């Protein structure tokens, strides 16, 4: 030691000061990456691969323009979930005006899963075409050989054109009435009965807020807000995860759900969603089913807290549920606290999912660590 020059110690202390070394989660606070920059991965999705966690999310820029996709999907990696390393842009927006993925379009809620059969990482995301608001309602796919990218954009599309879901008969379809006029007093019932579904039957169903879920047997599902955000569609993916199969259901028709996030515990599938208030928070909803393509039942608002906290899901909107590796029944609820006026400043709300009478619940914890999980 005595041979080391003084300069070595100066270098080390500067280096250490620039590092962040988190040992707890502090929901809603700035969260710095290994370069000391607030993590920029909103509407995120997570993947655990070869002993490392990866976080993929919307890279936002400052101001309102940040609500559009100006850069792409940002990736981070972590061994311990507290400290995240910047892995750069995994999927870049295109400068080619002929590309659907051109800079300035909308790309939200990217999710990545690994397909063992084709040995590729497959990213799906909500995609809206440039200068068309939210009317295109497409789901997009990109593929990479490496977890952190570069992901190669494949295509974006609507879903299930000309195909009926498993839980909607030809008779129901024939009876469904298309809504001619928005002030129709029977609009809600007509939506439940398949008005928008029938309207979009030939061209394909809308897909906005979405997530992916991979079951223990490797079967993957795409879950999305469809039918003008009135109904969720849950679709089984093909074996290579690159497309949807014809096995799909309408879930909660007319239920007005967005921001789906799915997890599985004790052979039951749980899904968090939000209501429809854009960037503003609203009460979370929880539902349960015995199978992904089964009969989903509502369990109501999972939040326990003050009336205000329950009304706004602790000022957040769900994006993912992350199972903690190596611990049983340990799940983290991951949500966004959006800042649409300055999108880059959006915050992350991570809360431990607690179980009361075996039902998942969410409570505000301002500072916590993985030791809250007892298993
Ligand atoms: C939210 C949705 C976000 C984004 C936003 C735009 O409801 O969850 O992903 O689409 O609306 O207003």
Contact between 367 and 349 under an 8 Å Cβ cutoff? The reply is no
The band of 374, judged by pLDDT with boundaries at 50, 70 and 90, is: confident
Residue 209 Cβ inside 6 Å of ligand 1? The answer reads: yes
pLDDT given for residue 12 in this prediction: 45
The band of 306, judged by pLDDT with boundaries at 50, 70 and 90, is: very high
Q: Give the span between the Cα atoms of 251 and 327, in whole angstroms.
A: 31
**Separation of 340 CA from ligand 1 center, angstroms?**
10
Q: Are strands 359-363 and 303-304 parallel, antiparallel or unpaired?
A: parallel
Is the omega angle on the peptide bond into residue 150 within 30 degrees of 0, that is, cis? yes
Residue 87 Cβ inside 6 Å of ligand 1? The answer reads: no
Nearest CA to ligand 1 atom 11: 278
Residue 64 Cβ inside 6 Å of ligand 1? The answer reads: no
The DSSP code for 145 is S
**Separation of 278 CA from ligand 1 center, angstroms?**
5
Nearest CA to ligand 1 atom 5: 278
- pLDDT, tens digit, 9 for 90 and up, residues 242-252: 999 999 999 99
Q: Which atom of ligand 1 is nearest to the CA of 258?
A: 8
Residue 279 Cβ inside 6 Å of ligand 1? The answer reads: yes
Provide the token pair at 307. Answer: 């009336």
Q: Give the span between the Cα atoms of 138 and 153, in whole angstroms.
A: 14
Residue 235 Cβ inside 6 Å of ligand 1? The answer reads: no
The band of 96, judged by pLDDT with boundaries at 50, 70 and 90, is: very high
User: How confident is the model over 89-116, as a mean pLDDT?
Assistant: 98
- Residue 203, helix vs strand vs coil: coil
Within 10 angstroms of residue 345's Cβ, the number of other Cβ atoms is 16
Provide the token pair at 24. Answer: 């707890």
pLDDT given for residue 19 in this prediction: 55
User: How confident is the model over 172-188, as a mean pLDDT?
Assistant: 94
pLDDT given for residue 20 in this prediction: 74
User: How confident is the model over 53-67, as a mean pLDDT?
Assistant: 98
**Separation of 351 CA from ligand 1 center, angstroms?**
21
Report the chain's mean pLDDT, rounded to a whole number: 95
Share of the chain above pLDDT 90, in %: 93
Within 10 angstroms of residue 42's Cβ, the number of other Cβ atoms is 25
User: How confident is the model over 98-104, as a mean pLDDT?
Assistant: 98
User: How confident is the model over 356-368, as a mean pLDDT?
Assistant: 97
pLDDT given for residue 71 in this prediction: 98
pLDDT at 8 over 80: no
pLDDT given for residue 17 in this prediction: 47
**Separation of 260 CA from ligand 1 center, angstroms?**
12
pLDDT at 182 over 90: no
pLDDT at 1 over 50: no
Residue among 69, 279, 280 to mutate when testing ligand 1 (max atoms within 8 A of CB): 279
For the chain, the C-alpha Rg in angstroms (whole number) is: 21
The band of 375, judged by pLDDT with boundaries at 50, 70 and 90, is: low
Nearest CA to ligand 1 atom 8: 259
pTM attached to this predicted model: 0.94
């Amino acid at each position: 030691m005595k041979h080391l020059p003084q300069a070595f110690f100066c270098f080390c202390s500067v280096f250490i000061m620039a590092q962040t070394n988190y040992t707890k989660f502090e929901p809603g606070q700035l969260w710095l990456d290994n370069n000391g920059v607030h993590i920029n991965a909103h509407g995120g999705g997570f993947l655990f691969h070869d002993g490392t966690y990866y976080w993929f999310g919307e890279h936002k820029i400052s101001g309102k323009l940040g609500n559009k996709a100006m850069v792409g999907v940002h990736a981070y990696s972590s061994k311990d979930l507290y400290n995240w390393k910047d892995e750069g842009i995994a999927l870049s927006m295109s400068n080619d005006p002929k590309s659907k993925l051109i800079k300035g379009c909308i790309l939200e809620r990217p999710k990545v899963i690994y397909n063992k059969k084709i040995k590729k990482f497959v990213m799906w995301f909500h995609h809206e075409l440039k200068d068309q608001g939210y009317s295109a309602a497409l789901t997009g796919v990109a593929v990479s050989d490496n977890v952190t990218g570069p992901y190669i954009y494949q295509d974006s599309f609507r879903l299930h054109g000309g195909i009926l879901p498993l839980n909607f008969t030809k008779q129901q379809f024939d009876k469904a009435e298309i809504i001619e006029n928005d002030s129709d007093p029977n609009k809600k019932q007509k939506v439940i009965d398949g008005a928008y579904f029938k309207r979009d039957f030939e061209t394909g169903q809308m897909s906005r807020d979405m997530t992916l879920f991979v079951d223990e047997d490797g079967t993957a599902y795409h879950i999305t807000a469809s039918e003008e955000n009135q109904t969720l569609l849950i679709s089984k993916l093909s074996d290579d995860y690159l497309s949807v199969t014809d096995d799909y259901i309408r879930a909660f028709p007319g239920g007005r759900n967005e921001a789906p996030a799915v997890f599985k515990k004790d052979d039951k599938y749980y899904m968090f969603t939000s209501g429809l208030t854009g960037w503003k928070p609203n009460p979370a909803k929880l539902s349960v089913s015995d199978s992904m393509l089964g009969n989903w039942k509502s369990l109501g608002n999972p939040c326990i807290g003050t009336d205000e906290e329950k009304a706004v899901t602790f000022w957040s909107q769900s994006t993912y549920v992350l199972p903690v590796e190596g611990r049983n029944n340990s799940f983290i609820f991951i949500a966004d606290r959006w800042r649409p006026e300055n999108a880059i400043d959006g915050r992350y709300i991570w809360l431990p999912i607690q179980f009361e009478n075996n039902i998942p619940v969410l409570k505000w914890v301002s500072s916590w660590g993985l030791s809250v999980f007892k298993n």
